[in-house]
Amino acid sequence: MGKIVEFLDYTFEYSGMERPAVEGVSFSVEEGEVAVLAGASGSGKSTILRSINGLIPHMYPGRRSGKVTVDGADVSSTPTYELARKVGFLFQNPENQIFMFTVEKDVAFGLENLGYEPEVIRRKVDWALGLLGISDLAKRSPSELSDGQKQRVALAGSLVMDPKILVLDEPTSLLDPRTAQDVVSLVSRLNKDLGLTVVLVEHRLELVSPMADRMVVLSGSRVWAEGSPAEVLGREGLHEVGLSPPAIVEVQKRLPSGDGLALDVDGFVRRFLADVGHRV
Amino acid sequence: MAHVMAEGFKFRYLKTPVHGLDPRVKLLMTAMLFALALLSSNLYQEALVFAAVGVPAALARSLKRLLRIAALSLTFSLMIFAVNMLFGQPLLESAVITIRFLGIVAATSVFFVTTSPDEIEYVMRWFRLPRDFVFAFATSIRFVPVLMMDLTQIIDAQRSRGLEMDRGNPVRRIRNLIPVLIPLIVNALVRSGELAEAMEARGYGAVSRPTSMHALLMKKNDYAALLVLVPAWSLLITYFLGLL
């Protein structure tokens, strides 16, 4: 297991903007890990994600310094279609990433773009639909699907390209709590079963903390904290950077100290996360 | 009105012998019917055109839809009739021209009510049209229901803020559309930006000639349809051209 995503003193400023979207960012993600990026709106999370699959700098010009490496490839010198083989990307709104008239055709879209043979495409599409439990939707039109189903179709369209890394940009923000939980459980299963490295941005920390191996908090375009969820969530000042830690962490922090009550925030959070994680 | 018209042209899959035909055969059939409608020069020939359109429409269980589409184009037909009369065409000539227009509408509708957008895309690829053009066509049709939903939401939002769309004289009514159209266009632009990102993320443009999971294959019933269509059309066109 080695570093599969690595940011080294990375700074990026979009053309026409007056300040960098991210500045001096350094962190790495190990192969097979689930890394959660958190932070207030405008802290640079989406810029980080788009720098992993090469949309930045190939689609969005701007001033940059430092280096981003994905599976050994320097993102700035690797075309996006090459990175598409390594990185699957799930956007916030599944509606805007389903192009075709039927589910199976949409799932096939990426493979057709890469020039795979029709028989190979058929086999991979059937595999992806089966993996996500949506084989029965193969012939359906996207407009007939629920939001949760659309999210699964979009996920199938990414996974069919057999990526090593799955990047998700607030995948549950448009979903109801139950469907959101389903999507998170699904991502957790994909991480465990396929050994996929997952990098995701999510505001509902109580939903994703249990499956996270690493958490990176951004504030004011810089990394504010990085470490295990227990380390990061146990830190003071989360509210000041626009985050709401899981309620259980808040409760634990407010328990009175003294009178023989020794507080072990890290241990408490770790046990809680392990317990919830087990259920997820 | 435009919404109702769009609804009329919307594809609904039915299990009929016509829906099951290869889209290339359906396109050829439509071209044949179109040519007949265009060349019809008297009421008898026009009656034959409607009969010829009626057969596949009936087989496709879409006769009612076709009549609805024809009824929707009646206003425009009446305008054609009025303009012809105004410019001194005799009554019969004006009627022939108007009915010819209705025949053309009915002939082209057969294709759209029996062919899915998917199949239209396959045909476009088969003709080796540029990939960007085919993709633009496919996404524009795919996003019609999405944009319709955006439009409904924007109208609801603006009405709840006091916009009275159906009030005032025609000029005022057109001006009332501005608060609806601007957010709709902005939404569409934002959406297209996200679409472009998703296309890049899925390798669009990686190879100059992308492959396709589906291939168009002629089946027995397609050849059978051609065996009926080609002689029947040849006979009719010969008659229409006055060679019979």
Q: At CB < 8 Å, which residues of chain A contact B?
A: 50, 53-55, 58-59, 79-81, 84-85, 87-89, 91, 93, 95-102, 104-105, 108-118, 121-122, 125, 142-143, 157-158, 161
* Percentage with pLDDT > 90 across chain A: 60
Amino acid found at B74: L
User: CB count, 10 Å around CB of B183?
Assistant: 16
Residue A242 pLDDT: 83
**Which residues does A239 contact at the CB level (< 8 Å), separation at least 6?**
none
Q: What residues pair up with A35 in beta bridges, in sequence order?
A: A199, A214
Q: How far is B78 from chain A (nearest CA, A)?
A: 36
What is the phi/psi pair of residue A230, to 5°?
Answer: -65, -45
Interface touch B211/A122, C-beta < 8 Å: no
Is residue A112 over pLDDT 50?
A: yes
Topology of domain A3-102+160-279 in CATH is Rossmann fold (3.40.50)
> Using CA atoms, how far apart are residues B158 and B160, in angstroms rounded to an integer?
5
**Which residues does B122 contact at the CB level (< 8 Å), separation at least 6?**
B23, B212, B214, B216
Please report where in the chains the tokens 């060679």 appear, as a residue.
B243
pLDDT tens-digit readout, B4-20: 555 555 677 788 999 99
pLDDT tens-digit readout, A223-248: 999 999 888 888 888 888 888 777 77
Please report where in the chains the tokens 């146990």 appear, as a residue.
A234
> Using CA atoms, how far apart are residues A92 and A183, in angstroms rounded to an integer?
12
Interface touch B198/A158, C-beta < 8 Å: no
CB neighbour class for B242 (10 Å; exposed up to 12, middle 13-18, buried from 19): exposed
User: CB count, 10 Å around CB of B223?
Assistant: 11
What is the phi/psi pair of residue A175, to 5°?
Answer: -110, 155
pLDDT tens-digit readout, A147-165: 889 999 999 999 999 999 9
Preceding peptide of A57 cis, ω within 30°: yes
> Using CA atoms, how far apart are residues A238 and A39, in angstroms rounded to an integer?
9
Q: Tell me the chain A residues in contact with residue B194 when contact means C-beta distances shorter than 8 Å.
A: 91, 93, 96-97
> Using CA atoms, how far apart are residues A209 and A170, in angstroms rounded to an integer?
14
Query: Which residue in A84, A116, A158 is closest to B211 by CB distance?
Result: A116
Residue in chain B closest to A99 (alpha carbons) equals B139
Band (pLDDT 50/70/90 cuts) for residue A260 is: very low
Query: Taking CA A66 as the corner, what is the angle to CA A64 and CA A72, rounded to the nearest 5 degrees?
Result: 115
| Domains in chain B: boundaries | 2-115+220-240, 130-201
Q: Which residues of chain B have pLDDT under 70?
A: 1-10
Q: Tell me the chain B residues in contact with residue A101 when contact means C-beta distances shorter than 8 Å.
A: 116-118, 121, 138, 141-142
